[in-house]
Structure 1
Amino acid sequence: MNPETDDPKQVVLQVGGVLKKIRKEKHLSLEDLSELSGVSKLTLGNIERGETNPTIGVLWKISKCLSIPLLALFSTENSVNLSRAGKGLRIAGDNKDWVIEPIFQNVSNEIETCRAYLQPNSSYYPEKHHHNTTEIATVMSGTLSIHVNNESYVLNQYDSISFCADGTHSYINQSDELVVLHIILKYGV
């Protein structure tokens, strides 16, 4: 992925190509992947052909069933990567209140980082992540509540939290300001 690319169609085509390659490497048919992920065969085919821009929820389902990090679906092999805020790939949640920008993914596919934006007076309830995944979130601007299982934590600017992300968790912004986060996902083995 070229983080400087502003052409969403090119990114959609790239994701489709990567998904098809990974699916074939795992010897899965579209029907097999559909059954494993809960994403329709039609949708998966459209993603592979670059005919649709999938939501982050759909991408989480696919990456989880393939046992790969989410950002592996966007991977290319570059020796130097530059990530600029507001440039390049942006992946929106179902209601567009939550948007992530992939920053970097390490070579071993065990760690990925992204910027996340949560709109004012909104919330985001992500899919449960891969088993034994640690999520580390740092608030870069704003204030929000993070709910992990049945506990609630308020984070202010530059506060950080680390938690096991294979359980229920959510991000809630009850303010009138945009919240910006840096998120690191560490996939367990």
Structure 2
Amino acid sequence: MNRETDDSKQVVLQVGAVVKKLRKEKQLSLEDLSELSGVSKLTLGNIERGETNPTIALLWKISRSLNIPFMALFSKENSVDLSRAGKGLRISGDNKDWVIEPIFQHTSGAMETYRAYLQPNSSYHPENHHRDTTEIATVMTGTISIKVNEETYILHQYDSISFPADGRHSYENNSEEVVVLHILLKYGV
């Protein structure tokens, strides 16, 4: 087994342990969490045991149903974090066109930051986020179309946008280059 595979397995096991811990703290059975999240009991059990690598969509459903920030599922207690692009945890969307790297994996507050990569000629349509969540996206490289509800915004390198993330929104890359974004999620707590 190589180091990347070992690291990925550790993350999967860590996420499973955190989901199980949070579920028990909230005194929920697997069946209760399944009903709240819309994720099957079997899949939740596999996640808790570290037997499956869940998608971003599944993790959003679980975090929303537990009413916790997304990155709380990856919680590690550390006082100093260093995030290097391309190193550490990477989470892919269902079709691998959208990849996020948590910049900081601890959740001492109600804010999370990510590096996001959208592949050429592709789009990403995320799950609605927690109620009262604000999303702030800054384009680091490339040009992207961001649709919020029914309005489309074109952003170029270093442009930023802030919008309510609990409604429909999407990202579209119509270029031949990977678009890199920094995304901040601020939860309304």
Q: Same fold (TM over 0.5)?
A: yes
Residue type at the aligned position of 1:178: V
Residue type at the aligned position of 1:59: L
Contact 2:76 2:105 in 1 (8 A): no
1:33-44 aligned at under 5 Å gives the runs 33-44=33-44
2-side partners of 1:27 and 1:109: how far apart? 23
Contact 2:74 2:106 in 1 (8 A): no
1-side partners of 2:54 and 2:87: how far apart? 19
- Secondary structure, aligned partner of 2:9: helix
Residue type at the aligned position of 1:51: E
Task: Figure out how many residues of one structure are paired with residues of the other and give that number.
Answer: 186
Cα displacement string for residues 16-46 of structure 1 (whole angstroms, at most 9, x for unaligned residues): 0011000000000000000000000000000
1-side partners of 2:60 and 2:81: how far apart? 23
Other-structure match for 2:113: 113
Other-structure match for 2:30: 30
Other-structure match for 2:161: 161
Residue type at the aligned position of 2:92: A
- Secondary structure, aligned partner of 1:104: coil
Other-structure match for 1:141: 141
Runs of 5+ consecutive residues of structure 1 not aligned to the other structure: none
TM-score, normalised on structure 1?
0.95
- Secondary structure, aligned partner of 1:7: helix
1:7 CA drift (Å): 1.1
Other-structure match for 1:18: 18
1:72 CA drift (Å): 0.3
1-side partners of 2:22 and 2:177: how far apart? 39
Contact 1:6 1:89 in 2 (8 A): no
Contact 2:134 2:185 in 1 (8 A): yes
Cα displacement string for residues 45-84 of structure 1 (whole angstroms, at most 9, x for unaligned residues): 0000000000000000000111111100001110111111
1-side partners of 2:90 and 2:176: how far apart? 22
1:6 CA drift (Å): 6.6
2-side partners of 1:108 and 1:5: how far apart? 28
Other-structure match for 1:175: 175
Runs of 5+ consecutive residues of structure 2 not aligned to the other structure: none
Change (3 A) 1:14 1:169: same
1:15 CA drift (Å): 0.3
1:174 CA drift (Å): 0.3
After TM superposition, the runs of 4+ consecutive aligned structure 1 residues lying more than 4 A away are none
Contact 1:137 1:183 in 2 (8 A): yes
> Cα RMSD between the aligned structures?
1.4
Residue type at the aligned position of 2:76: T
1:108 CA drift (Å): 3.5
1:105 CA drift (Å): 5.1
Residue type at the aligned position of 1:45: G
2-side partners of 1:145 and 1:87: how far apart? 27
1-side partners of 2:6 and 2:111: how far apart? 24
TM-score, normalised on structure 2?
0.95
